[in-house]
Amino acid sequence: MWWQDAVVYQIYPRSFQDSDGDGVGDLRGITQRLDHLAYLGVDALWLSPIYPSPLADFGYDVSDYTGIDPQFGTMGDFDELVAAAHERGLRVLLDLVPCHTSIEHPWFREHPDRYIWSPVDGPPNNWVSAFGGPGVESRRGERPLVPALVLSRAAGPRTGATRKSSRRCRTSSASGSGRGVDGFRLDAIDRLVKDEQLRDDPPASRPFPLPLDPEAARLEMRYSGNRPEAIEALRALREAAGDALLVGELYRPVGEYERWLEVLDLVFAFEFLFSPWDAERLRAAIEPAAELRRAAWVMSNHDFDRLATRVGPENLRAAAVLLLTLPGTAFVYQGDELGLANGPGHEPPFDRAGRDRLRHPMQWDAHGGFTSGTPWLPLVDPEARNVADERADPGSLLNLYRSLIELRRELGAGFRLLDAEPGVVAFERDRHTVAVNTTAEPRPAPEGEPVLATHEGEGLPPHAALIVRN
């Protein structure tokens, strides 16, 4: 399978490249910048949603699953982007959002029966939405921002709607209507099916390993989502998608991934994403995810703090080594290869959940290079870090990403975590040993011929990572 050791680059379309001066990134802009992905050597790109949307949740509130939002361009622009990506050997993943729609989706008016409504005036149960607040809306209540779908009732039996849209987007069919998409990231997939009887979620009996809204953390998601029926429903999507890559955004403990991997190819390793930069904690997150062989390594995305902010700039080089030498598929969020940190966001906020600061535009040169107009969010620090300067500097973080992506092709299939010095994560990949020093003190280097080092100096300097060959 092409994706098994692939590096997937996440593009946040509003913030990658603007081609028409309106300050918002667009599809033509992405096509113009594909050389950056080719330079890095990644295998695929994932586009966060590009469908028509009133932007109550910045594109994750979809009002038409089969269209392109005019701000992003046209279907012709999309076809050109896919063709240009394929020409460079880059696969294309779309974001599929099957658990809720925008209130502006025609179904919301024409088929209210396809949504979950409270039978009483007010919330019918204790469900908590991902952003806090009640999880089910009363028909007479306020209008929900992104109403949840009852999947079994949406456009025919089982997952009719999403099945059709995934089929339409996929490989060219005889009719020529396919669009050549190579896979999908499945949004919030643990919420695909909810209990028909709207039963209360029970109180949580143990702490949840991932950050949650405090209200949600008090409950165990047993009825509001995480249903075994979801896996059955996904079989239909699996069938329609054929061999297209399906990667699930499953916000659950890694111990639960296995059953979802019956129908999905990959699931994001969220415990790894949230692990503090501490060797013990990292090992604890890596071990079970690596055992599955199909966890997608990821350290940041458009929802959570940027990598530079989370691990600190001093650890960015070592974090790049870790992310790109673990066995299996890795996801890189645009800008992380430059060391971009969280930005100031916007006042008043655009995003209801405070995520503007993770979504500032790409910095292509010292002036920005993102748009000829006024960017929808300001650029953070283009003079300090940008693609042009980092390309020219052999010692830059960008060029470290590039070297690692090249080197990872030489790492074998094997993987074994090693007992290491305190504060060091070390593992073998067949003939290579990787050692990552998470501390501010020097540590001894692993034995072998150095192949790649993040820092100069003897041993394993503070915050450094080293790859040796045995």
Active centre residues (catalytic): 187, 249
- Select the residue interacting with ligand BGC from 57, 182, 336, 356 (CB under 6 A): 57
Distance of alpha carbon 399 from its chain centroid, rounded? 22
Q: Rank residues 53 and 403 by Cβ distance to Mg ion and give the closer one.
A: 53
Beta 330-333 vs 295-298: how paired, if at all? parallel
CB of 57 to ligand BGC, least distance (A): 5
Per DSSP, helices labelled H in 41-157 are 75-87, 106-110
CB of 344 to Mg ion, least distance (A): 22
Q: Which tokens hold the place of 227?
A: 């249903």
Distances (CA, A) of 183 to 46, 90, 163, 298, 380: 9, 12, 13, 17, 32
Residue 303 as a binder of ligand BGC (CB under 6 A): the answer is: yes
Site track 150-179 with ligand BGC (rule: CB under 6 A), x = hit: ------------------------------
CB of 47 to Mg ion, least distance (A): 15
Q: Rank residues 29 and 343 by Cβ distance to Mg ion and give the closer one.
A: 29
Residue 20 contact, options Mg ion, ligand BGC, none, Cβ 5-8 Å cut-off depending on partner type = Mg ion
Site track 233-272 with ligand BGC (rule: CB under 6 A), x = hit: ----------------x-----------------------
Residue 356 as a binder of ligand BGC (CB under 6 A): the answer is: no
Residue with tokens 């109550």: 56
Residue 69 as a binder of Mg ion (CB under 5 A): the answer is: no
Site track 92-121 with ligand BGC (rule: CB under 6 A), x = hit: -----x------------------------
CB of 169 to Mg ion, least distance (A): 22
User: What is the rounded CA–CA span in Å between residue 93 and residue 72?
Assistant: 16
Q: Rank residues 303 and 389 by Cβ distance to ligand BGC and give the closer one.
A: 303
User: What is the rounded CA–CA span in Å between residue 51 and residue 100?
Assistant: 14
Q: For residue 436, what are the β-bridge partners?
A: 425, 465
Residue 24 as a binder of Mg ion (CB under 5 A): the answer is: yes
Q: Which tokens hold the place of 414?
A: 């094997």
Residue 104 as a binder of Mg ion (CB under 5 A): the answer is: no
Residue 24 contact, options Mg ion, ligand BGC, none, Cβ 5-8 Å cut-off depending on partner type = Mg ion
Q: Rank residues 297 and 427 by Cβ distance to ligand BGC and give the closer one.
A: 297
> DSSP assignment, residue 335?
T
CB of 224 to ligand BGC, least distance (A): 14
Residue 337 contact, options Mg ion, ligand BGC, none, Cβ 5-8 Å cut-off depending on partner type = none
User: What is the rounded CA–CA span in Å between residue 293 and residue 298?
Assistant: 14
Residue 26 as a binder of Mg ion (CB under 5 A): the answer is: yes
CB of 36 to Mg ion, least distance (A): 17
Q: Which tokens hold the place of 423?
A: 């504060």
For residue 60, give the amino acid letter.
Y
For residue 268, give the amino acid letter.
F
CA dihedral 376, 378, 380, 382 (to 10 degrees): 90
- Select the residue interacting with ligand BGC from 82, 149, 188, 273 (CB under 6 A): 188
Ramachandran angles phi, psi of 148, nearest 5°:
-80, 140
Contact present, 435 and 461 (Cβ < 8 Å): no
- Select the residue interacting with Mg ion from 20, 200, 381, 421 (CB under 5 A): 20
Contact present, 341 and 389 (Cβ < 8 Å): no
Distances (CA, A) of 468 to 251, 405, 452: 35, 16, 7
Residue 167 contact, options ligand BGC, Mg ion, none, Cβ 5-8 Å cut-off depending on partner type = none
Residue 18 as a binder of Mg ion (CB under 5 A): the answer is: yes
User: What is the rounded CA–CA span in Å between residue 347 and residue 340?
Assistant: 20
Residues of this chain that bind ligand BGC (CB under 6 A): 57, 60, 97, 187-188, 249, 302-303
